[in-house]
Amino acid sequence: MLEKFRKYINDNHLINKGDRILVALSGGVDSMVLAELLRREGYDIAFAHCNFHLRGAESDGDEQFVRDYAERVGVKLFVKQFDTMDFVENNKVSVEMAARELRYAWFDELLGSGFDKLALAHHADDQIETFFINLLRGSGIKGLKAMQPRNGMYIRPLLWALREDIKNFAVENGIQWCEDSTNNDTVYLRNKIRHELMPVLDSIKPETREKILESVNYLASENQLYRELLKEKISQIEKIDGVLHSIPKRHFDRQLLFEWIRDYGFSYSQSESIFASLGGEPGKEFYSNDYQLVVEKESVDIFPIDPVRTMHALSQQLTMQPVQTTNALSLLITDNPNIAQLDYDTLKLPLRTRFWQQGDRFRPLGMHGTKLVSDFFNDNNFTTFQKKTTLILVDNDGQIVWIVGHRIDDRFKITDKTKTIYQIKFGE
């Protein structure tokens, strides 16, 4: 087993020379064998143990077992106590999801303290169970490829080994472990697959597990190729303008739409609703945690919800400079919409930027009366993204000076009486 373990690490480039490895150590047979294999191979390791307090004295017993083992082999141990049920209640998630979120948040914290990798004890049977879990959830190949040997700083050096092989190695080498009583509780989907589905499949075909693993590996390879082709396709049709990502409607079929928007946190059910809206009235809006999607007349647009981040990024593109002159009108030499030339003496400084607000009015250059900014937007066919992210430059009295990149207010225009031009440039 040591030889296969060593080969798998080398073939998948899981550990580099000099890496400090943190080992997730539950005390179960899988993690204990992983710890022993890494230790016997001479890697620089430390242990991390989570006590979720879900099994009363049994959870505390696991913690003590791990503490005793770490002390006996002389390896540093980190232990974290979690109030898992409190997290479940406050966040309205399942116990499994709560444990996962708590565990990985702590692991990420530990990795930031000087470790290069974190080794997880997932093995081949875990891989098969994950395949079926994702299959039953309606996953595409991204989910059916299950787990990978490496995901960022997380590595799975035992993903090749079946549970039976791991237990045999533990028995033959005198490696002790703790039994988790919940592993037999078929209320959990993973355990149902392990204890009810897999024995049936094993009885149908003796090499069931090996063949499923082959299929998972094929799917992983096919998924990689698919992702590369998808990335190339999207790069050819996606327009990126600052924080705005946009693709013309004509390019979409169901699958391409979903694959594009899933990276922005949108779900499959949302994708179906978005696809159904492509032929309807424009302006329909959808939201993920961090992004807004708008179905426009000709395109689908995605941009961040966070207005503070967007405002900061756009405001950084403004440069302002007063220009002294004796003949201001002679300097009106640009029709660049991204440059505003204003009468300095009419401005009440300081100027500041904000986004459009309901009821905003200004006097567009060349007009005598005022106009709602919303009407100006509509008259000029602004998209939802443009309405939400066009900067409004106002003076210290709150008067609109410039719809940035579009139109200045007539009250601040240059005249033959202008002594100083205040020039403002947006962008490069």
Residues 28 and 177 grouped into a single domain: yes
Q: How far, in whole angstroms, is CA 107 from its chain's centroid?
A: 17
The predicted structure's pLDDT at residue 144:
86
Residue 346 lies in a domain: yes
- SS3 of 37-66: HHHHCCCEEEEEEEECCCCCHHHHHHHHHH
| CATH code for the domain of 106 | 3.40.50.620
Residues 179 and 69 grouped into a single domain: yes
* Mean pLDDT, residues 85-89: 92
The predicted structure's pLDDT at residue 389:
86
- Residue 272: CB atoms within 10 A of its CB come to 13
Residue 329 has pLDDT above 60, yes or no: no
pLDDT category at 316 given cuts 50, 70, 90 is confident
Residues 267 and 412 grouped into a single domain: no
Residue 78 has pLDDT above 80, yes or no: yes
Residue 128 has pLDDT above 80, yes or no: yes
pLDDT category at 331 given cuts 50, 70, 90 is low
The predicted structure's pLDDT at residue 326:
56
The predicted structure's pLDDT at residue 233:
94
Residue 418 has pLDDT above 90, yes or no: no
Residues 398 and 254 grouped into a single domain: no
Q: Which residue has the tokens 């395949």?
A: 131
* Mean pLDDT, residues 136-160: 91
Parallel/antiparallel/unpaired status of strands 154-155 and 117-119: parallel
Percentage of the chain lying above the pLDDT 90 cut:
72
Question: Cβ distance 166 to 30 under 8 Å?
Answer: yes
Residue 322 lies in a domain: yes
Range 262-266 contact pairs with CB under 8 angstroms and sequence separation of 24 or more? 264/288, 264/290, 264/291, 264/293, 264/302, 265/289, 265/290, 265/291, 266/291, 266/293
pLDDT category at 157 given cuts 50, 70, 90 is very high
Q: Is 312 exposed, middle or buried (0-12, 13-18, 19+ CB in 10 A)?
A: exposed
Residue 138 lies in a domain: no
Parallel/antiparallel/unpaired status of strands 318-324 and 339-343: unpaired
The CA-atom distances, in angstroms, between 390 and each of 95, 129, 295, 355, 401 are: 44, 50, 18, 6, 13
Question: Cβ distance 315 to 353 under 8 Å?
Answer: yes
Residues 117 and 27 grouped into a single domain: yes
Mean pLDDT of the chain: 91
* Mean pLDDT, residues 92-106: 92
Q: Is 285 exposed, middle or buried (0-12, 13-18, 19+ CB in 10 A)?
A: exposed
Residues 321 and 263 grouped into a single domain: no
Q: What spatial distance separates the first Cα and last Cα of the chain, rounded to whole Å?
A: 61
The predicted structure's pLDDT at residue 327:
59
The predicted structure's pLDDT at residue 176:
96
The predicted structure's pLDDT at residue 241:
82
Residues 380 and 407 grouped into a single domain: yes
The predicted structure's pLDDT at residue 324:
64
Q: Measured between alpha carbons, how far is 329 from 332 in angstroms, rounded to an integer?
A: 5
Angle made by CA atoms 283, 285, 288, in degrees to the nearest 5: 160
The predicted structure's pLDDT at residue 330:
56
Among candidate residues 254, 258, 224, the one with its CA nearest the CA of residue 145: 224
Residue 91 lies in a domain: yes
Residues 79 and 106 grouped into a single domain: yes
Among candidate residues 283, 261, 262, the one with its CA nearest the CA of residue 385: 283
Global pTM value = 0.67
Length of the chain, in residues: 428
Among candidate residues 51, 46, 48, 45, the one with its CA nearest the CA of residue 24: 48
Residue 44 has pLDDT above 60, yes or no: yes
Parallel/antiparallel/unpaired status of strands 20-24 and 117-119: parallel
Residue 224 lies in a domain: no
- Which of these three, 263, 283, 305, is where a domain ends? 305
pLDDT category at 334 given cuts 50, 70, 90 is low
What is the count of structural domains for the chain?
Answer: 3
Residue 174 has pLDDT above 70, yes or no: yes
Residues 14 and 114 grouped into a single domain: yes
Residues 343 and 366 grouped into a single domain: yes
Q: Which residue has the tokens 């409004």?
A: 392
* Mean pLDDT, residues 168-180: 94
The CA-atom distances, in angstroms, between 396 and each of 161, 344, 349, 392 are: 69, 13, 5, 13
Residue 336 has pLDDT above 90, yes or no: no
Q: Say which range, 212-226, 261-275, 308-322, 364-378, has the weakest mean pLDDT.
A: 308-322
Strand partners, 174: none
pLDDT category at 317 given cuts 50, 70, 90 is confident
Residue 417 has pLDDT above 80, yes or no: yes
- Residue 96: CB atoms within 10 A of its CB come to 12
Residue 414 has pLDDT above 80, yes or no: yes
The SS3 of residue 146 is coil
Residues 15 and 113 grouped into a single domain: yes
Q: In the sheet that 117-119 helps form, which strands lie side by side, from edge to edge?
A: 77-81, 44-51, 20-24, 117-119, 154-155, 150-151
Residue range(s) defining the domain that contains residue 263: 238-305
pLDDT category at 60 given cuts 50, 70, 90 is very high
Residue 310 has pLDDT above 80, yes or no: no
The SS3 of residue 139 is coil
Residues 353 and 405 grouped into a single domain: yes
* Mean pLDDT, residues 45-52: 96
Residue 79 lies in a domain: yes
